[in-house]
Amino acid sequence: MSAISILVIEDDEAVVELLSAAFRDAGHLVRAARTLAEGRRLLEQANTDMIIMDRGLPDGDGLSLCLTLRKDSRFRGVPIIMLTGKDAPPDKVLGLRFGADDYLAKPFEMDELLARVDAILRRTCPGAVFLAGRLEAGGIVLDLPGRRVMVKDGVIDLTGREYELLRVLMEKAGTVLTREFLLGTVWKAQGGTVGRKTVDVTVMNLRRKLGDKGALIVAVRPDGYKMLPAGK
Ligand code: CA
C-alpha cells in the first residue's frame, strides 16, 4: 500500500484544513500552497501524485497553471481536480478543456470529493489507499465500491461469499459472531438449506487466501468466529 503525495493549491484556509485532515487520516502526504507561485515552487521540489486546485487564487486563475502543466512533460500526467465557485456549465467545460481531470463546484461535499479522488487513484495509482468507502483492519483493506480486498500491495481474489464474510468480520472486528449470525447475514440462510459446516469451510478458504493475515480470524468456542482488532 503506497502513500500518495497530494498538492492542494487553495487560498481558503478552511478548505485547506479539511482536505489536509482527510488525506492525512488516510496516510497520504499533503502539501498546501496558497498561491499559484507557491504551487509551482512546491511542484518543482518534490514528487506529486495529484493536484487539487482552486480557480480563484490571489495571483491568478488556476486554469492558467492547469494549462501550463499540461504542456510540461514533467507534469503532464499528474491528475488535477479543479475546485471552483463558478459552477456554470461553460466554466466546467473550460476547466476540462484546459486539462483538468475533474471539476467540482464549491461548496462541495467532502464525501464527493474523496470519491472522485479515489476514482482517479484507481486509474493512476493502483496500489494507493483509498479515501472513501474503505474498511481497514489489521492491514487488510476493503475497497467497498470496487469490492476489492487488498493485503500489502496485492489484490486478493475472493468469491462473493468469502468477500461478504470478510466484510462482516471486519465491520464487527473484536466481536464474536456466531455461526447462526453469519448464516443469517452472509448466506441469508433459507430454512436450514445451508449448514453450519458451510461457515467453517468458507472461513477456512478465506483464511488460506489471506495468507499470514488469515490468522486474524480466530475460532471462538463454543460457537463462532471473530476478527482480531487491528494491532493484535
Ligand atoms: Ca479562492
Average pLDDT, the chain: 86
Give distance in angstroms: CA of 63 to centre of ligand 1: 12
Query: How many Cβ atoms from other residues are within 10 Å of residue 205's Cβ?
Result: 16
Give distance in angstroms: CA of 10 to centre of ligand 1: 6
pLDDT value of residue 123: 78
pLDDT band at 129 (very low <50, low <70, confident <90, very high): low
* Model pLDDT for residues 139-160, shown as the tens digit of each residue: 888 877 678 898 876 889 999 9
Cell of 164: 461478504
Give distance in angstroms: CA of 83 to centre of ligand 1: 9
Fold type of domain 134-227 = Arc Repressor Mutant, subunit A (1.10.10)
Cell of 49: 501524485
Give distance in angstroms: CA of 29 to centre of ligand 1: 22
Domain 5-124 has CATH 3.40.50.2300: yes
Element (H, E) at 57: strand 56-57
Could you give the C-alpha distances from 129 to 41, 114, 139, 145, 188, in angstroms and in order?
A: 26, 12, 11, 13, 31
Per-domain residue ranges of the chain: 5-124, 134-227
Query: How many helices (H) and strands (E) would you count in the chain?
Result: 8, 14
Is the model's pLDDT at 78 over the cut of 90?
A: yes
Is the separation of the CB atoms in 130 and 119 below 8 Å?
A: no
Give distance in angstroms: CA of 16 to centre of ligand 1: 11
What DSSP state is assigned to residue 138?
A: T
Give distance in angstroms: CA of 58 to centre of ligand 1: 7
**Sequence-separated (6 or more) residues with CB below 8 Å from residue 210:** 140, 151, 156, 166, 216, 217
Give distance in angstroms: CA of 118 to centre of ligand 1: 24
Determine the Cα–Cα distance for residues 151 and 155; give it in Å rounded to an integer: 6
Cell of 190: 433459507
* Model pLDDT for residues 15-48, shown as the tens digit of each residue: 999 899 888 877 778 999 999 999 999 999 988 9
* Model pLDDT for residues 86-113, shown as the tens digit of each residue: 656 667 777 777 889 998 888 888 878 8
